[in-house]
Structure 1
Amino acid sequence: MLLKTLKGRHYLLLVMVPVFLVLLWIKAFISPVSLTYGQNQMPLYRLLESVTGGSVTAMNIIGCILLILMSLLVVRLNEKYNFIRQRTDLPAFIFALIATGTVSLYGMHPSLLASFLLFFAIDGIFAIYHGSRTLAKSFEVGLFVGLAAISYLFAFVFIFWFWIALAFLGYFRIREILAGLIGYLVPIFIVVSFYYLKDELGVFIDTIKGLVNYEFKAEYSFIQMMYWGIILGFVLLSSAFMVKVVEEKKISSRKYFIILFVFFLTAVTSFFLFSGAGTELYFLVLIPITFIISHYFVQSRYSWVGELLFAIFIGAGILIHFLG
């Protein structure tokens, strides 16, 4: 009955999700640890560190606020474009569980800031499909991808996702491509110009080299890997369900989910392409995974199987904090 109850409209859930998210992420405040210690970071993230005076706790508070905002924004995005075909607050709850499911990521990281910025790029891509202000929206998408890239280096690959999305939407035209490319280059140009005028361009280049050449090494508990396996299992199950019902969907909904899936594949591909990219890419896949899994739980017919799977999903998301 839990799934049947939560997949409706419950404004109280939108109030409880931020509290729930804070409780799941409480370790970031009790025992704050810098996730970027000893590494130079991209300019926009460094600016944020300067504003907070380098306080790990303050940065983690900002990170938690970003997660809360994103949990609410995923609900807004579905209401705006209705690609799950039901108004539901369940994506906020699912996002909170998934977002806190990697115990090594209790805290602020450049990829979390990039994920927040890329959310608005996704919103802009969906808006392009409606055909109004396509040039302005293309510029906005490129701008947000560019801002994400100067926050977290490996987010630069999402410019390719943008071009692929344009092709799926039928707007792979020179003017939209150029508008997006200009938007993408604007923040990068400003950053390069700033470092050049300060005669510190070499510092910026060294930062990029350091991030690219960094060899990510980490060991994870069996429980953590098992949790990721459960999430992957739900992604595969939800994707198979989506393929099964794709003919019942509006053309726009199909395109939106394809774009989200390509977004997911772009982040996963980055993990294998760049040695410096590691677990933090988990933050970048939060949005597509949330919608893919939410679609399954909301659209699948009510049955004891669905309730059991939902209970497993919730149980795994909570237990990882005690066993991971």
Structure 2
Amino acid sequence: MISIFRTYKPTNFFWLTLVLLVMRLGYIIKAPDQVHFIFVESYIRSLIPVNYEDALSSTANIFIAALLVFIQALLVNYIINFYNLLGKPSFLPGLMYIVAASLFTPFLVLSPPLFCNFIIIWMLYKIFGLYKSAESKTIAYDLGMMVAVGSLIYLPFIYTILVVWIALVIFKPFDLRDLLASIFGYITIYFFIAVYFYLNDKLNKFLDIWTPLGSRFPSSIHFSQYSYLVLVPVVLIFILCLFKLQQSFYKSYVHIRKSYQVLVLLFLVAGLAFYVKVDFRLNHFLLCAVPASVFFAYYFMYASRRWFYETLFLIFVASIIYFQFNTF
């Protein structure tokens, strides 16, 4: 399977679609009757007058989510190949994104983090382009606006502004004006939101938006013990990827090294931002799928023992499908 996606051929669109369906087959068969869907944060809900929460059946919800994941997989694949982060074109980033976005059953339905992944992909495209860009202030302003829009959909997304600031320092010589430009971009979106609340005499609700940012970091996180079993191949692939990156990191072009530093930072920030949500849900970690898919793709691109990496990938996929059929 991996050898098929190591090449860049039009026929891989078919194989990518097949993998997408297989990865979601278990949940489609055992899907609940109704899946409650929340598109934006509660404080911005009044801007959307349509009642959409229960408008979709569970089947429609799953298939629309699958379509969005497929589009995102193609976008991730395009960006990684465009900036040549793997050294040669392939469909591995797209494949790994589809697998990573199917890791847990909460990933398989529509959710705010799923929509935020479109913004993450767009942000990475902008950030990777900083290296050869003469004007970084405009890009920084755009990135600030993207973070603001993402935080309207899903509040923990607000912390990706840290990724923007550090990426500006990584790709460009430090310039305070770049950081200020990103802040002004963020403020621009919320300025219009504040005006809306003010005109509707709800300014106190606008101030309540920021209350979750002061919440305590949870002392413990509760997962099903079977969720940890699915993560075993994930952790193993990550460890193997780190070894592969270490071997060739300083031999790579400067742009590629900087890009992987940003991806590591994005993975950490997106993963740790969960504590902002009082009603924390497992689908939060879907925000980590984009950087994770790049790391997975890097390992499988340069793994040398075919019997081992093919077996590892099959075990990874089989474990995901198994726990979709068996919720225990």
What TM-score, normalized to structure 2? 0.85
1:6 corresponds to which residue? Answer: 5
Q: From 118, 121, 129, give the equivalent of 1:119.
A: 121
In 2, distance between residues paired with 1:25 and 1:157? 30
State the shift of 1:111 in Å.
1.7
1:50 alignment partner, SS class: coil
CA deviation after TM superposition for structure 1 residue 314, in Å: 2.6
Q: Which one of the candidate residues 262, 271, 277 is aligned to 1:268?
A: 271
2:165 to 143, 163, 166: 163
Aligned partners of 2:55 and 2:70: how far apart in 1? 20
**What is aligned with 1:50?**
50
Q: Give the Cα–Cα distance (whole angstroms) in 1 for the partners of residues 152 and 98 of structure 2.
A: 26
Match of 2:181 in 1: 179
Partners of 2:46 and 2:7 in 1: CA distance: 41
Bigger drift between 266-275 and 183-192 goes to 266-275
Q: How do 1:14-163 and structure 2 match up within 5 A?
A: 14-18=13-17, 20-22=19-21, 24-25=23-24, 27=27, 30-31=31-32, 32-34=34-36, 36=38, 41-43=42-44, 50=50, 52=52, 54-57=54-57, 62-163=64-165
* RMSD value, Cα: 3.1
| Per-residue CA distance 1:162-203 (angstroms, 9 max, x = gap) | 111111113431222122222222222221221121112333
The residue identity in structure 2 corresponding to 1:94 is M
Aligned counterpart, 1:289: 292
Whichever residue aligns with residue 109 of structure 2, its letter is G
Q: Which moved more, 1:94-103 or 1:224-233?
A: 224-233
Q: Point out the more displaced range, 276-285 or 117-126.
A: 276-285
Does the aligned pair in 2 maintain the 1:142–1:179 contact within 8 Å?
A: yes
- Which residue identity is paired with 2:140? S
**Match for 1:17: what amino acid?**
L
- Take 1:213 and 1:56, find their aligned partners in 2: how far apart are those partners? 33
Which secondary structure state, in structure 2, belongs to the residue aligned with residue 186 of structure 1?
helix
Q: Which runs of 5+ in 1 are unaligned?
A: none
Q: Which amino acid is 2:157 matched to?
A: A
**TM norm structure 1:** 0.86
Q: Residue 238 of structure 2 contacts residue 296 of structure 2 at CA under 8 Å; is this kept in 1?
A: yes
- Equivalent residue pairs, number: 321
Which whole-Å deviations, capped at 9, do the CAs of 1:225-248 have from their partners, x for residues lacking one? 211232133223212321222122
State whether residues 157 and 266 of structure 1, in contact with CA within 8 Å, keep that contact through their aligned partners in structure 2.
yes
Please tell me whether the aligned partners of residues 9 and 88 of structure 1 are also in contact (alpha carbons under 8 angstroms).
Answer: yes
- Shift of residue 3, structure 1, vs aligned partner: 2.2
